[in-house]
């Protein structure tokens, strides 16, 4: 396929302690402007796969292409096109203040100072951290650090945003904000997004395409609706479909609703429709 943002096939990597991590099976492909979720149980190799995309690891076998290039060989060029938020934001915070940290990527690209100030303030406002710009990052809460890390990753408008377990440690409100923000980045800036998670509840709200990784194999790829209705396969992979999907499948089985909802809101709408058109009443009689 032409112009793929990420293309990964038949990956295998051996860590120094001889642990082998694989991502074989279905090729991992990301189109421009696409939002992709990589799901799998803890320890299946999601972070390892992402590190290959980022050019931090060289595969023992397999092929990795990012924006048409080998991310290891072309690391110094490809990294400018990627924004990354790691599992632990403490490990990527670099500046003495929040402003300096967010501005870091722009300074590294030698963007003029005036533009830096404008862009940093704009991103901070989007994420609701304008009041933190003068603060010292390592004194912030986990959620605030996450936002700072995200701001730093997107301020230079990269073509690809990679997020490693972005929802861990966040409360429900922060998770929803993050989902909305990522959605806007994708829609307004055309940023491709790859995020890894083992928490499937938010995936339907955020991803167009879901890849499931299990025991070194990419076993499934499809839309959230296609993947999450394969309950048995998901459970084999150590994952639990979202609660609303499980409930929806039961309700579809009972004939109460016509399709499986992927979100709570969709489920509510389907039930309301079923109530108003008499489906529920007729079944109860």
Alpha helix stretches (DSSP H) within the chain: 46-53, 75-78, 98-108, 113-127, 142-154, 172-189, 203-206, 224-228, 231-236, 243-253, 264-276, 279-284
Question: Binding to another protein by residue 184, rule CB under 8 A?
Answer: no
Question: Binding to another protein by residue 80, rule CB under 8 A?
Answer: yes
Q: To the nearest whole angstrom, how small is the minimum distance from the Cβ of residue 154 to another protein?
A: 12
Structural Rg of the chain based on CA atoms: 21
Q: To the nearest whole angstrom, how small is the minimum distance from the Cβ of residue 95 to another protein?
A: 7
| From 22, 35, 52, 79, residue interacting with another protein (rule: CB under 8 A) | 79
Convert residues 143-182 into a mask of x (bound to another protein by CB under 8 A) and - (unbound): ---------x------------------------------
Question: Binding to another protein by residue 95, rule CB under 8 A?
Answer: yes
Q: Which residues contact 256 (CB under 8 A, 6 or more apart)?
A: 271, 274, 279, 280, 283
Single out the residue of 261, 263, 262 nearest to residue 274, CA to CA.
261
Question: Binding to another protein by residue 91, rule CB under 8 A?
Answer: yes
C-beta closer to another protein: residue 103 or 202: 103
C-beta closer to another protein: residue 91 or 188: 91
Single out the residue of 88, 25, 92, 82 nearest to residue 55, CA to CA.
82
Question: Binding to another protein by residue 132, rule CB under 8 A?
Answer: no
Of the listed pieces 107-115, 223-231, 242-250, 272-280, which binds another protein according to CB under 8 A? 107-115
Any idea which residue has 């990589």 for tokens?
38
Q: How far apart are CA 62 and CA 49, in angstroms?
A: 11
Single out the residue of 11, 34, 35, 33 nearest to residue 24, CA to CA.
11
Single out the residue of 126, 198, 140 nearest to residue 167, CA to CA.
198
Question: Binding to another protein by residue 134, rule CB under 8 A?
Answer: yes
| Binding stretches for another protein (CB under 8 A) | 16-17, 51, 54, 56, 75, 79-80, 82, 84, 86, 88, 90-97, 100, 104-105, 107-110, 134-136, 138-139, 152
């Amino acid at each position: 396929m032409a112009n793929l943002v990420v293309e990964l096939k038949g990956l295998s990597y051996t860590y120094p302690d001889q642990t082998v991590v694989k991502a074989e099976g279905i090729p991992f492909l990301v189109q421009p402007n696409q939002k992709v979720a990589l799901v799998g149980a803890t320890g299946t190799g999601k972070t390892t796969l992402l590190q290959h995309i980022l050019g931090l690891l060289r595969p023992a076998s397999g092929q990795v292409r990012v924006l048409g290039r080998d991310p290891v060989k072309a690391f110094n060029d490809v990294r400018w096109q990627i924004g990354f938020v790691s599992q632990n934001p403490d490990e990527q915070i670099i500046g003495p203040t929040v402003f300096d940290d967010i501005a870091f990527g722009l300074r590294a690209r030698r963007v003029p100072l005036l533009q830096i100030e404008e862009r940093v303030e704009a991103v901070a406002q989007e994420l609701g951290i304008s009041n933190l710009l003068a603060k010292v990052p390592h004194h912030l809460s986990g959620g605030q650090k996450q936002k700072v890390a995200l701001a730093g990753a997107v301020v230079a408008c990269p073509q690809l945003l990679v997020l490693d377990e972005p929802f861990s440690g966040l409360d429900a409100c922060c998770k929803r904000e993050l989902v909305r923000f990522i959605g806007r980045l994708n829609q307004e800036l055309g940023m491709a997004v790859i995020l890894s998670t083992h928490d499937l509840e938010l995936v339907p709200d955020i991803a167009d395409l879901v890849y499931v990784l299990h025991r070194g194999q990419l076993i499934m790829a499809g839309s959230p609706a296609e993947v999450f209705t394969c309950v048995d396969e998901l459970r084999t992979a150590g994952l639990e479909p979202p609660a609303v999907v499980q409930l929806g499948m039961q309700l579809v089985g009972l004939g109460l609703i016509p399709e499986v909802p992927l979100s709570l809101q969709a489920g509510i709408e389907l039930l309301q429709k079923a109530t108003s058109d008499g489906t529920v009443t007729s079944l109860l009689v």
